[in-house]
């Protein structure tokens, strides 16, 4: 064994040249700079989209239909919308409430045995939903 340090492979010329274009840090925002209303509405839209897919409302809907998953997503959405409504103003909350109600009604229609009024997903937060 020798005490000589192991030699390093020569660096490739490409590794020494800076990349052109914006870096990852330039393309992202610090989460502290994102307004709370934007975070809340973005999360709500993701929950709505996922619930709609699980209700079979997307293309090839029957293939993705899963009412148990849809129920969980609608429940979470109802909690988020109800809890944050006073914080995000009616301007932002009203469309979220409308979307939530549409999903709740779609869930009722998709269910083979519909829940009693007030017992559907999210209705403990929103109250009974009628068509």
> 90-109: per-residue pLDDT in tens?
999 999 999 999 999 999 99
86: left (phi over 0), alpha (psi -120 to 50) or beta: alpha
Give residue 62's pLDDT.
86
Largest CA distance in the chain: 83
pLDDT at 27: 59
126 neighbors 100 (Cβ within 8 angstroms):
yes
| Entry pTM | 0.77
Residue with tokens 């934007």: 38
Among 105, 113, 112, 131, smallest CA distance to 121 is for 105
pLDDT beneath 50, residues of the chain: none
Question: Residue 127 contacts by C-beta under 8 Å, 6 or more apart in sequence?
Answer: 118
Position 61 scores a pLDDT of 78
Residues whose CB is less than 8 angstroms from the CB of residue 69 and which lie 6 or more positions away in sequence, other chains included: 50, 54
């Amino acid at each position: 064994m020798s005490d000589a340090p192991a030699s390093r492979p020569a660096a490739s010329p490409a590794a020494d040249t800076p990349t052109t274009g914006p870096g990852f840090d330039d393309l992202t925002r610090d989460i502290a700079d994102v307004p709370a209303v934007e975070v809340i509405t973005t999360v709500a839209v993701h929950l709505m989209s996922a619930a709609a897919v699980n209700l079979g409302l997307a293309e090839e809907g029957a293939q993705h239909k899963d009412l148990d998953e849809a129920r969980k997503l609608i429940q979470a959405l109802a909690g988020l919308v109800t809890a944050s409504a006073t914080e995000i103003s009616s301007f932002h909350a009203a469309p979220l409430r409308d979307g939530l109600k549409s999903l709740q009604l779609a869930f009722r229609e998709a269910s083979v045995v519909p829940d009693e009024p007030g017992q559907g997903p999210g209705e403990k937060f929103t109250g009974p939903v009628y068509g």
